[in-house]
Structure 1
Amino acid sequence: MKKNPFKELKKIILLKDKIDYYVVFKVENVLYGLKAEIIKEIIPTLEKKELPNTPDYIGGVINKDNQPITLIDLKKLLSDEYQEYDKNMYIINFIYDKKNYGFFTKEIIDIIPVDKGSLNNVGEEMQDFYFVDNIFSFNGDIVLIINVEKILKNNEE
């Protein structure tokens, strides 16, 4: 008996609205997730220049193909310490409001599908993470899903 090739396709189409893909990465022992659909690319470290007159969590700017990418330091968002930026970093380049931004990290864990039904709202105890709306569990660890709009809108106000 022949297998129906459309059966798998039907399953994928039905699941499409129930699953989001996230790039999971680590900054200072905290796991973060960023929705894959907003990510433009993941690139190795490029020479960074300082950006004057910006919030302290802006780690500088890099230039790729004549496109400036503003770097956001997740560690600085949560503490008074800066994350070290060195040649072993990866930059997760994403687009927000037609501009390029990047989170920098030494450790990209995986790109994983996450059932929207398995997302949990963050509680009051996580109010320091104002830019995180939801969390999910991955290999026994908690992953904080970044809402980039909350970081960048907060910056504009």
Structure 2
Amino acid sequence: MSSISGETKYVVFKIDNEYYGIDINNVKSIERIQDFTRVPNAPPYVKGVINLRGEVVPVIDLRMRFELTPRELDSNSRIIIVFVNEIQIGLLVDSSSEVIEINGEDVDSPPIVKENISEDFINGIGKQNGNLIILIDIEKVIGHKEIEQVS
């Protein structure tokens, strides 16, 4: 069983046809797409940096991080700004949908299957209204060593 207990709020977003959730306590804001500045020698999944209200913020393309097929950005694409260990990072997603609450009893342990997304990135699988929501471990997804080099 997952270590998640009680009721937790998650920001839910979509990549392809899958729903993912990030603990709302890590989310600062959700932004529309803006121009990226590429960073030389950054990992391939780092899209670049953006200027967010005077701050330079690195942006990770979650499609590339999860080794999914690249897709053109569109009007639904969003950048979710998160704080992890005092580092501000942007997460590029296909769309952001809502904030939901999930009870700890509605969260199962991650599956022991290695396919597109590494199980290391998953905290658990939330169930709500018949939908499955992959709850990601934002610290592991970000990979601090790589991001500290960019920021």
Is the structural similarity TM-score above 0.5? yes
CA separation of 1:59 and 1:83: change in aligned 2, threshold 3 A:
farther
Q: Percent identity?
A: 26
Deviations 1:102-156 (A, max 9, x none): 1122422210011122211112114642311211123322211111111233754
Structure with greater helix share of residues: 1
User: Using CA pairs below 8 Å that are at least 6 residues apart, which structure has the higher relative contact order?
Assistant: 2
* Counterparts of 2:46 and 2:56, CA distance in 1: 13
**Does the aligned pair in 2 maintain the 1:73–1:82 contact within 8 Å?**
no
| CA distance in 2 between partners of 1:62 and 1:83 (Å) | 19
CA shift, 1:85, in A, is: 3.2
SS of match in other structure, 1:125 = coil
2:65 aligned residue (77, 89, 93): 77
Quote the residue 1:11 is aligned against: none
- Give the 4+ runs in structure 1 shifted more than 4 A: none
Q: TM-score, normalised by structure 2?
A: 0.81
Contact 1:32 1:146 in 2 (8 A): yes
Corresponding position of 2:143: 153
Larger radius of gyration: 1
Q: Name the CA distance, whole Å, in 1 between partners of 2:87 and 2:107.
A: 28
Q: Is 1:108 aligned to residue 96 of structure 2?
A: yes
| Paired AA for residue 45 in structure 2 | Y
Paired residues of 2:46 and 2:61 also in contact (CA < 8 A)? yes
**Are 1:91 and 1:103, in contact at CA under 8 Å, matched by a contact in 2?**
yes
Q: Give TM-score scaled by structure 1 length.
A: 0.78
Q: Aligned pairs, how many?
A: 140
